[in-house]
Amino acid sequence: MALARIFFAGVGGQGTLTVTNLLAQLALDKGIEVTAGEIHGMAQRGGVVHTFVLLGGYKSPKIEKGEADFLLGFEPLETLRALPYLKAKEGVVISSKNPLYPIGVALGRENYPSLSEIEEKSLACAKKSYFFDVLEGAKKIGVPQTANTILLAAFLALGCLEIGIEDLIEGIKKYLKPKIVDVNLKAVQIGVELSQCTT
């Protein structure tokens, strides 16, 4: 197993911690050494959440700036803010393109950067950069909260890790509450489809 540092950036209420823990469990099930945790975060809705998963036997308990191989951004502005953690010109960005506007933006006191600006800055920092409309996919399911699973599925479907889509499907059945298994399995399929639209 190649070593991999994965940095997650989102806001409270998006399920960032849920996805972090699920990926860590998938790795453990495959016999991969895992270190996972939260760098900082405000789990209430709207607060910034930064988490990480280190695969392959890392001894350090966290990711420093410039070390992440992969950045999973569940909100575009948080993706932008987390770019300093990515390995310059070597890392890969996988992000939602669906903004959740901070209160200052909603009140007209602050500006939110355009998606094209965020995408350009991400690509300038990364080896590859992918932005997916995960919220549109989640709306098709009728459960916006599945957007996090869609993004994780799109990431795993890109083949960046030894953990694949079948592992994710089994993990959802094993680790998520029974009442949300079916909608998350639908989310996996949408994530796979989104990943196939990349060039």
Express each pLDDT in 42-92 by its tens digit.
Answer: 555 557 889 999 999 887 778 999 999 999 999 999 999 999 999 999 999
Output b/e per residue, 17-54; b: 16+ Cβ within 10 A: bbbbbbbbbbbeeeebebbbeebebeeeeeebbbbbbb
Q: Among 74-78, 80-84, 173-177, 194-198, which stretch is predicted with the lowest mean pLDDT?
A: 194-198
- Domain encompassing residue 80: 4-195
Q: How far is CA 60 from CA 32, 69, 72, in A?
A: 16, 15, 20
Better-predicted residue by pLDDT, 39 or 64:
64
| Rounded-to-10 torsion of CA 132, 136, 139, 145 | 30
Total-model pTM: 0.92
Number of domains the chain contains: 1
What is the three-class DSSP state of 178?
A: helix
Task: State phi, psi for 71 to the nearest 5 degrees.
Answer: -120, 115
Predicted local distance difference test score (pLDDT) of residue 123: 95
CATH of the domain at 94: 3.40.920.10
Query: Do the beta carbons of residue 92 and residue 83 sit within 8 Å?
Result: no
State mean pLDDT over 138-162. Answer: 95
pLDDT at 57: 85
DSSP assigned state of 122: H
